[in-house]
């Protein structure tokens, strides 16, 4: 395996499981919407052995002298994993240049591994001044050197004279990945009216463990609320929390199973009794919001648009978790808002 190969190519990670990734198993990715997407696409082509496609992600300056040499440089390569750091950018003469810190772990067919690190530059020529054929963002230049650091720690902090990029909110990024993995195909991809989805609402909740001494430091739990979908009169949301012990986890909300009796078995008639027969969990809350003053998440599920029949839950944050403390039900379709409390654990933390 040639070190020159790694000094001329690189970028963002394909999903790696620790097992060898065969060319036939590597996902096909061809996305040139930003610098990291180009790198994901480049390594999709490399791991699938689609070398003509990989060659095309470079501009006029190619990584080696000719295409045959480019292909031959990968003869001993089983797979390449790549991590990136914070991307910085500069504008000059009708182009935007993106500086990308990268680290690479290359696994040879004999099982040996090598780590390289360095910086790459991608270029996007202003689309409004181009003439056919259009040229999307491309790899302009770059160089990697052998690194003694572990792969996970080898990404440079910044490239060249570029300022250090702002630190990413690691907890938020993990929550966003978890939400996308579970609800990417279930929840709406844009807000009602066509607006792009906003960032999730984020909150910081500080507390002390039960029984903790007064001089012990507070702990922190992060709460993230993701919009999921909007119907005629109900909006659903998904919640995640993060702490330094459990990492990111999705909240599941307890709700009672109800046995509702109406006079003459007429759902439009008088409610005779509402019985709780058990409990279930919901992964989404309807018409919900978090109140930092009371440390509660509340929900209101309207059974019809006027809201005279509905169910409402209140979930209190205490000792690092949210618990159901009150559940109210208005089961009568009488045009009046007159809920009945069917669950009451609403004691102070």
| pLDDT score recorded for residue 74 | 87
| pLDDT score recorded for residue 260 | 95
pLDDT tens digit sequence for 106-121:
889 999 999 989 888 8
pLDDT band for position 348 (cuts 50, 70, 90): low
Strand ranges of the sheet holding 310-318, from the earlier edge strand across to the other edge: 289-291, 296-302, 310-318, 321-330, 340-344
| pLDDT score recorded for residue 12 | 34
**pLDDT exceeds cutoff 50 at 20:** no
Beta strands in the chain (DSSP E): 77-84, 88-92, 95-108, 113-125, 138-146, 201-207, 219-230, 235-243, 247-250, 253-262, 271-282, 285-286, 289-291, 296-302, 310-318, 321-330, 340-344
| pLDDT score recorded for residue 5 | 42
Task: Kindly state the percentage of the chain with pLDDT values over 90.
Answer: 50
């Amino acid at each position: 395996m040639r070190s020159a190969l790694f000094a001329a190519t690189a970028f963002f990670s394909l999903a790696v499981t620790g097992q060898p990734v065969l060319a036939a198993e590597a996902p096909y990715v061809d996305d040139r919407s930003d610098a990291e997407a180009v790198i994901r696409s480049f390594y999709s082509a490399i791991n699938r052995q689609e070398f003509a496609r990989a060659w095309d992600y470079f501009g006029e300056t190619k990584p080696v002298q000719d295409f045959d040499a480019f292909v031959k440089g990968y003869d001993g390569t089983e797979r390449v994993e790549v991590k990136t750091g914070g991307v910085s950018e500069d504008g000059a003469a009708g182009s935007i240049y993106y500086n990308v810190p990268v680290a690479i772990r290359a696994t040879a067919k004999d099982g040996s591994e090598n780590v390289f690190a360095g910086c790459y530059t991608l270029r996007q020529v202003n689309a409004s001044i181009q003439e056919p054929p259009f040229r999307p963002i491309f790899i302009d230049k770059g160089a990697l050197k052998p690194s003694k650091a572990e792969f996970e720690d080898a990404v440079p902090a910044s490239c060249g004279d570029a300022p250090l990029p702002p630190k990413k909110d690691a907890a938020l990024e993990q929550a966003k990945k978890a939400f996308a993995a579970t609800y990417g195909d279930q929840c709406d991809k844009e807000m009602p009216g066509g607006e792009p989805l906003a960032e999730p609402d984020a909150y910081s909740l500080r507390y002390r463990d039960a029984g903790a001494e007064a001089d012990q430091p507070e702990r922190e739990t992060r709460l993230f609320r993701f919009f999921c979908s909007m119907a005629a009169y109900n909006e659903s949301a998904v919640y995640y929390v993060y702490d330094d012990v459990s990492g990111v986890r999705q909240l599941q909300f307890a709700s009672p199973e109800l046995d509702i009796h109406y006079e003459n078995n007429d759902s439009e008639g008088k409610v005779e009794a509402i019985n709780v027969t058990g409990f279930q969990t919901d992964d989404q809350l309807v018409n919900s919001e978090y109140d930092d003053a009371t440390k509660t998440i509340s929900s209101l599920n309207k059974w019809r648009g006027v809201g005279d029949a509905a169910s409402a839950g209140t979930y209190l944050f205490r000792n690092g978790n949210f618990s159901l403390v009150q559940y109210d039900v208005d089961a009568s379709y009488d045009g009046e808002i007159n809920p009945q409390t069917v669950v009451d654990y609403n004691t102070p933390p």
